[in-house]
Structure 1
Amino acid sequence: MPTIRPRRSALYMPGSNARALEKAREIPADVLILDLEDAVAPETKATAREQVCAAVKAGGYGKRELVIRLNGTQTPWFEEDLAAAAAAGADAILIPKVSAPETLVEIGERLTTMGADAALSVWAMIETPLAILDVERIARAARQPGTRLACFVMGTNDLAKETRARFVPGRATMLPWLTSALLAARAHGLDILDGVYNELKDEAGFRLECEQARDLGFDGKTLIHPAQVSAANTIFAPDEAELERARAIIAAFDRPENADKGAIQLDGRMVELLHAEIARRTVALAEAIAA
């Protein structure tokens, strides 16, 4: 089984706020997205770039995954963002408004030319109508190792803006887009993170949206405030009942008498080898979180 990296909570941190970058070292998010794009005013773009790259180089973030979100490829800041982020030592760079696989191919080639560390991965924001219409081809770019593509991040606010869709409880307006992106990601071995929840004071609504995303199959949720981290970490992690069940399935298939069986009965239910694979991933995720 491939190594699992928990991505339950991915917190956006404004790159122009030096205090926030310092505080982020203590926030128990799985992923920190150090933002050079939406959270940064045009006049502070250069300062934000310098501060974010210096913070990444300085370290002290423990096992948190560090991702630098660049400005868009068509902006005047992209070229310097890409060069600086490639040399900073982050785990990944996040590219906004990816609407075609060719964008990822070109960025991958440029990272190679720059001599970027082979461990640096590329994440793609899925946040335009064109991206949704072409999401499978975009995900398929991960089959080309040079693209470094590892994860999709849903940009639900931008999708709402571009389509004029409204945010409603249960997200019926967005479910087709969310599930299309998730299917494409899974078809090509990518992780995928849900979009943000905008109502900071609505904890119940936030929890419901996290539970919906978890049940759909998302790996985690992007967040706009540290107060959202704890709930996301809990909801996207296996609970004790899931772990107990998973361990029971694994133990049952590990018994010598079941070694050559594709399906067995366990506690009155039919259990197949595919359920054992799911169970092993559940346990592996819990162990990765514990570590």
Structure 2
Amino acid sequence: MSDFTPLRSVLYMPSSNERALEKAKAIACDGLILDLEDAVAPDAKPAAREAAAAAAASGEYGRRTVTIRVNGIGTQWHDDDIVAAAQAGPAGVVVPKVNSADEVRALVAALEKAGAPDHTRLWAMVETPEAVFNVREIAAASDRLAVLVMGTNDLVKELYAEHVPGRAPLLTSLSLSLLAARAAGVAILDGVYNDVKNIDGFLAECQQGREMGFDGKTLIHPGQVEGANTAFAPSESAVEDARGILAAWEEGKGSGVVTYNGKMVENLHVESAERTLSIHEAITALGV
């Protein structure tokens, strides 16, 4: 995991808001989604496209993983968005409502035709029932696809469901998408939490996402960054346990049975411990 990139907190920022783009340079999030879709009014989209492309190409966001969310496939803005985003060369191009592997392949072809550099990856949003049914094929459709992003607000709408604590109506969709991401070896981000004033509810949802296995969470307010950064980073006790497991494994080589704190240690525990330390070291290197 030497090339591991933390994505604990990925913040949506409206590209039509020059002040927001400037403010984002000082926010301690792991990633930014410079938005051209939901957060931008139709008449502001061309100017927002220019602003997002300029921001992504500026190199002024430091260590943050900068992406651009384009308007959806079939909209009047999509093709121009793809060209502008590809030429700006962000870390990722986020595409809403990706419903099939064929759409992934077509998006990759469009990015490459527009001259996207190799480091510009595709981030596909999973936010419809069709996408959930096809998510395994979506996740594995192209080596250029790097991240699945859960669009939980749209999923709730499409399911005729409700936003409730614990997210029972969404658990099937979240779990299937997680399985697909892990099978394909790509990252996956949990959806947003809408009530920015409900800190306890937000932290509970972060904990749920972390326990399920998500790599991080998409956010709609800078005040949510710290909570997500903490929730999706290994705890001090987890880091201590990981180091202890690896030390016990090393010391017990050849003995046949290795234990740590009274528990048997096997290869799977060693791999998990190595992953925990890799994540911890990558986060520590960020200096935040």
TM-score range, shorter chain: over 0.9
SS at match of 1:174: helix
Which aligned pairs between 1:179-194 and structure 2 lie closer than 5 A? 179-194=175-190
Alignment match, 2:212: 216
1:209 and 1:113 mapped to 2: Cα distance? Answer: 39
Contact 1:253 1:259 (8 Å CA) reproduced: no
User: Letter of the aligned partner of 1:267 in structure 2?
Assistant: N
1:200 and 1:267 mapped to 2: Cα distance? Answer: 40
Spell out, residue by residue over 1:92-138, the C-alpha distance to the aligned partner (whole angstroms, 9 max, x if none).
Answer: 00010000010110111222222210111000000011001111111
> Among residues 239, 249, 253, which one is paired with 1:258 in the alignment?
253
2:7 and 2:254 mapped to 1: Cα distance? Answer: 33
Alignment match, 1:102: 102
1:211 and 1:46 mapped to 2: Cα distance? Answer: 38
Spell out, residue by residue over 1:220-260, the C-alpha distance to the aligned partner (whole angstroms, 9 max, x if none).
Answer: 000000000000000100111000000001111122x4157
Alignment match, 1:282: 276
Identity in percent: 52
User: Letter of the aligned partner of 2:71 in structure 1?
Assistant: N
User: Letter of the aligned partner of 1:106 in structure 2?
Assistant: A
The answer to whether structure 1 residue 21 and structure 2 residue 40 are counterparts is no
1:203 and 1:245 mapped to 2: Cα distance? Answer: 29
User: Letter of the aligned partner of 2:108 in structure 1?
Assistant: G
2:32 and 2:255 mapped to 1: Cα distance? Answer: 44
- TM-score, normalising length: structure 1: 0.96
Which aligned pairs between 1:1-291 and structure 2 lie closer than 5 A? 1-141=1-141, 144-145=142-143, 148-255=144-251, 257-258=252-253, 261=256, 263-291=257-285
1:254 and 1:199 mapped to 2: Cα distance? Answer: 47
Structure 1: tracts of 5 or more residues without a match: none
Spell out, residue by residue over 1:144-173, the C-alpha distance to the aligned partner (whole angstroms, 9 max, x if none).
Answer: 33xx10000000000111111111111111
Spell out, residue by residue over 1:45-64, the C-alpha distance to the aligned partner (whole angstroms, 9 max, x if none).
Answer: 00100111111222211100
1:181 and 1:212 mapped to 2: Cα distance? Answer: 15
Contact 1:210 1:236 (8 Å CA) reproduced: yes
Aligned residue pair count? 285
